[in-house]
Amino acid sequence: MESMDLDAEVERRRNLVLSTCTALGGYEAREIAPGQVEQVYTLGDEALACLKDLKAHIRQDMITNARITLPALAEFNLIENDLVPILKMYAKEPGEIAERFILACVELLVPMTWPLEQPLDAEDEDYDPNMLDRYRRYKLALLQPNILETITRLIRDPLCIPHRDRSERDQNIIRLVFYLYRNLTAIPDVKASTVSSEIQLKMSTMQEMLLIRLHKTEIMELLLAVASNSLLPEGSEWNLTLNEILYNLVKNIHPRDVYEKSEAFQTSADMSRLSQRLSNLLQAENGQKRRKLRDMPSRHSRFGGMYAIKRWDGAIKVTQRQDAAYADLGSILDTGKKENRVGIKRKERDELGSHITYQAPESISCLQSLARTFLRYCFHVFFRSLIRDVEREYQKILEKDYTRMFYNMHWFLTCLEYELALQAAEQEENEKQQSERQNPPSQDTLLIPSRASETLKKLDQALNNSEPSEQIVDQDNADGDEDEDFRFDFDNAASAFDMRTIRVILRRLRLSLDEKRWLEAQVTADCLREMLLLVSKMSSASRAEFRETADYIQSNIYYEQTTLDIFVDMIKTYKAQSKSYLESVVQLTHVGLKLVEQYSKRHQHMFVQKRNNGKKKKPLASEKQGTDNGSDSDSVDEERENLLSVREHEFKFDQFEKKFVTFDVVQVYCSLLDDLENLSPHVCHCITSMFHRIMVKRGVHTVFYKLPVLALFNRILGQMHVLPRTTALRQLEEFILYCTRQFFKRLRERPLLIVEALYKNAHVVERSRRV
């Protein structure tokens, strides 16, 4: 009986919402010229009151936690049929009545497009498909011309009023409009293919369309202007909303793609870079074809055959596979085996950058303009305001906000690195042209035009290089016109190099590792790595101010032993995280070890602060008898001081490097190397560098003389002929050949080494020998 009453109440509410939407207005045939009739949207007599009634219904659902009004409005197509026509109607009509109608529409749009409650690491498939499709239809309808411009009119006057003179209504209007921008950027695109329908193809490029609309309507300039005033009271209130908007816009594209695909970059490269990218794509495609066809039989062996394999124990295994004559012997023997998946946890998915959002040149140009404007006017002020709020522990800051903040900081710091590389290449090109003008070639000299500029090659190396810098970079600002002669330098990201920011990053990284929030740990590690890379470039800058700042930052970072232990702990805590997480850990460890090694070489005596173990000493018998004379509070204070006491000791890089010389570290790196075909050259270089550091520099060979590692090396050597011949792969191949030669050389000296290869730890072999 109660369920019937509930269904009746839901149906009554739906009918009430439907009647309200019907009374809002509709299309009528109107004669616009003799013989021409057009469907024109006409408002009802109580249209404004109907909009307010719909707002009251939504508020009632929020109070009662019911889901009646919003699904009903979606079913009735309120946005496409009513709200968008109303906004178009008042797009060019000034006046108080128009403002009231626009505000009433925005008050409905904000709750109707409110982001779905899902964690940041959720995929698009994790959402309710009906709700997600509904949100996408909303976003596509609101991207029509004159819609966003009309909504932005609401905040034009409130933003002109000083913050102290604004009313509560003005603040609410600004908040609503910013929330609507946030909601639209949070709606993901459809993953469409070439055979998708027209509406799906449009929904697959909505984020591009939104970004272009934000730039053309100068809404992005408005948001950046508010971000540039984040330290002031009128801007600090919206920093978290702006942080989320920026995160939604840039989370699905790497800065490398922004600068490689930009029209200006291709023009300066004279299309040579575009042809190089095309050549790389063709080479990768041919490599994939070779990998697929490497074990396939030719057309002359289509009649099949039978192969007999005699094992070491005399047993014979017969196979009828056509590729048995070319395939690896191990894969043939393992054909009938079943994988034991008991107790194996599935790896997490890669959450960031899994979907490419921006492809059009116009959207790429808008992103590059966004990056440059933000770096020039907003970076320092905006992130300083966020760090200040974090230090004050405001309750408005959620766990998701930390991930968004660190991701945005990493993204724009990477853009700064690209801008510095572009400036260095341009400066080198100008100096080269100036020297050629001063020393023109003689008439007898034969000039052969080069196919590609040497500056372009050096620029590519600078952009693709993620190693700590060891060259002098000139960052002096040139005098002249502000727009033409503006040059980026490290002052544009001064808030990122503040010790308060670095302490917040290190504290959040440690906390995310302890609480197993792997996405936040990955984003924070990327941010810390990019920050360390820029600090390395600062240490080799031409200005003494930058070099002193870099030395001060590194001395404070390396002074805490807990900071140095993060590099080891991130590797040891790896179990079933995503591949992108492991790549971030490997790259951070590579950069951290390089910088610590360089810093320790420049400073002969380096001290670090380390906490005591805090072990409580056992009291003596005489002390036990005299415990009545002391107070319990003193003993508690002494124990607390013992636990919190720290001591300084001289840092030795060799001792720190020994923490990475374990089989567990090698095993983690090998798990990433197992997917060598899909690894980037830089990640492959980081893995090879760690292996070289362990085996060659430290002289520890036994961690590589294990059966899983040797089997992986054997499989990689068998795939080298079909993999692209990059520098990183050649270095890896040289190391594997060196490692295997050393293994067989020692095997001839110690035949029992083959037994040790079956065990993970050496003490297991020692125990078996004793038995």
Residue pLDDT, tens place only, 55-104: 999 999 888 888 889 989 998 899 999 999 999 999 888 888 999 999 99
- Own/partner pairs for 23-31, CB < 8 Å, 24+ apart? 23/47, 23/50, 24/50, 24/51, 24/82, 25/82, 25/85, 25/86
- How do beta strands 36-43 and 307-310 pair? unpaired
Extract the tokens encoding 727.
């520098």
Residue type, 403: T
DSSP conformational letter for 647: E
* pLDDT bracket for residue 34 (50, 70, 90): confident
Count of beta carbons in the 10 Å neighbourhood of residue 372: 16
Q: Which of 100-104, 467-471, 609-613 has the lowest mean pLDDT?
A: 467-471
Residue 456: CA atoms inside 13 Å, Cβ hemisphere, count?
A: 16
Extract the tokens encoding 23.
């009374």
| Three-state DSSP class for residue 440 | coil
Q: Which residues of 233-266 are buried (b: 16+ CB within 10 A; e: fewer)?
A: ebbbbbbbbbbbbbbbbbbbbebebbbbbbeebb
Extract the tokens encoding 440.
């023109």
C-alpha 128 chain-centroid distance: 25
Count of beta carbons in the 10 Å neighbourhood of residue 624: 9
- Tens of pLDDT, residue by residue over 211-230, are 999 999 999 999 999 999 99
**Average pLDDT for the chain:** 81
- How do beta strands 36-43 and 646-650 pair? unpaired
740 exposure class (CB count in 10 Å sphere: 0-12, 13-18, 19+):
middle
Give the whole-number percent of the chain exceeding pLDDT 70.
76
- Tens of pLDDT, residue by residue over 226-244, are 999 998 877 788 999 999 9
pTM of the full predicted structure?
0.84
Residues 83, 109: Cα–Cα separation, whole Å = 8
- CB within 8 Å of 521: residues ≥ 6 apart: 509, 512, 513, 570, 581
Q: Where are the domains of the chain?
A: 1-29+38-116+130-217, 231-264+352-426+489-496, 499-612+645-660, 677-770
- Tens of pLDDT, residue by residue over 493-543, are 888 888 999 999 999 999 999 999 999 999 999 999 999 999 999 988 888
